[in-house]
Amino acid sequence: MKIYISGIDTDVGKTYLSARICKELGFDYFKLIQAGMPKDSEVVAQFSPKTKIFKEGVFLQTPASPHKGRILENLSYKAFDIQIPQSEKLIIELAGGLFSPLDDEKTMIDYMSAFKHPTILVAKDYLGSINHTLLSIEALKQRDIKILALILKTQDTFSKDFISNYAKIPIIEFDDKVCEKLLKIIY
């Protein structure tokens, strides 16, 4: 099983969720594109030292949007040339939000559409996050990308309840039992 870890934005917790899933559920790890340091794979390795970590699909030293980083670093690659490693159980962590550029033409969600695997969407609560979360869910549904669950980091039950009632997808709070709850959904 291959699962994308996607987010509604950058810094919503994709790497920490990836590390938890790898450690607690025995998945291997692959970062589709890494922009800047420290590498997310280093965070995963530190938290889950027994995890098999594949070399990232593309590494950019520039901590910026990949389409900008590739120009600044004079790198040439095409989004769809990035190959997903072979693995029985693989977490594929994306960068930024769903419409973050992967190269100068394609976005993360374009890649997901071309190479279909289910996703776990990660969101955190901030002013405007309900809109960002629902737009992300809608975009995934329109492209027929299966959403296994929304992992939501929030203390605000108003946000959680609204998203749950509107989107009608499984929502799991990002807490100590997140992997235990995901286990029931994944398998």
Write the CB contacts of 176 (distance below 8 Å, at least 6 apart in sequence). Answer: none
CB 42 within 8 A of CB 66: no
Note if 31 is an active site residue. yes
Q: Which one from 2, 14, 31, 160 is the annotated catalytic residue?
A: 31
Triad 70, 72, 74: Cα angle to 5° = 60
Amino acid identity of 11?
Answer: D
107, HSE (Cβ side, Cα atoms, 13 Å): 10
The neighbour count for residue 187, using CB atoms within 10 Å, is 7
Give the residue numbers annotated as catalytic, written as ranges. 31
